[in-house]
Amino acid sequence: MYAFTSVLEISCMILSNKLLYSSYYPALVLFISFFSPTIQALDDGFWTYDLVDGYAEVTGRINSCPHEMVVPEEIAGYSVKSIGTYAFESAGINTLTLPDTLTHIKAKAFASNAISSITIPDSVVSIGPYAFYMNELTSLVLPDSITKLSLGAFVGNQITSLTLPKGLTEIEGEVFEGNKLTSVTIPETVTKIGASAFRSNGPWERIVIPKNVTSIGGNAFTYNGGGLEVPSIHFFGDRPEMPVDAFGTDSYQYYLKRVTYCEGRAGWPGSAISVSYTHLTLPTTPYV
Pairwise pLDDT comparison (107 vs 15), residue with the higher score? 107
Q: What are the beta bridge partners of residue 69?
A: 96
> Looking at residue 227, what is its pLDDT?
56
**How far is the C-alpha of 49 from the C-alpha of 67, rounded, in Å?**
19
Which of 167, 172, 158 has its CA nearest to residue 130?
172
Q: What digits encode the pLDDT tens for the residues 72-93?
A: 999 999 999 999 999 999 999 9
Query: With contact defined as beta carbons under 8 Å apart, do 173 and 196 qualify?
Result: yes
pLDDT band at 16 (very low <50, low <70, confident <90, very high): very low
pLDDT band at 4 (very low <50, low <70, confident <90, very high): very low
Is pLDDT at 101 greater than 60 in this prediction?
yes
> Looking at residue 39, what is its pLDDT?
65
Mean pLDDT, rounded, for 47-55? 95
Q: Residues, the chain, total?
A: 288
pLDDT band at 65 (very low <50, low <70, confident <90, very high): confident
Which of 157, 164, 168 has its CA nearest to residue 134?
157
> Looking at residue 64, what is its pLDDT?
77
Query: With contact defined as beta carbons under 8 Å apart, do 169 and 192 qualify?
Result: yes
Which of 103, 98, 152, 104 has its CA nearest to residue 130?
152
> Looking at residue 113, what is its pLDDT?
97
Q: Where are the domains of the chain?
A: 1-35, 137-288
pLDDT band at 33 (very low <50, low <70, confident <90, very high): very low
Least confident of 37-46, 60-69, 107-116, 152-161: 37-46
What does the DSSP 8-state code read for residue 182?
A: S
Mean pLDDT, rounded, for 2-27? 43
Least confident of 53-57, 192-196, 240-244: 240-244
Is pLDDT at 191 greater than 60 in this prediction?
yes
Pairwise pLDDT comparison (24 vs 138), residue with the higher score? 138
Q: What digits encode the pLDDT tens for the residues 240-281?
A: 999 888 887 544 455 667 888 998 999 988 766 654 433 344
Helix (H) or strand (E) holding 90: none
**How far is the C-alpha of 51 from the C-alpha of 41, rounded, in Å?**
6
Q: What digits encode the pLDDT tens for the residues 106-162?
A: 999 999 999 999 999 999 999 999 999 999 999 999 999 999 999 999 999 999 999
Helix (H) or strand (E) holding 112: none
Angle (nearest 5°) at CA 62 between 56 and 66: 95
**How far is the C-alpha of 285 from the C-alpha of 288, rounded, in Å?**
9
**How far is the C-alpha of 207 from the C-alpha of 174, rounded, in Å?**
17
247-268 as b/e: b if 16+ CB within 10 A: bbbbeebbbbebbbbeeeeeeb
**How far is the C-alpha of 17 from the C-alpha of 132, rounded, in Å?**
54
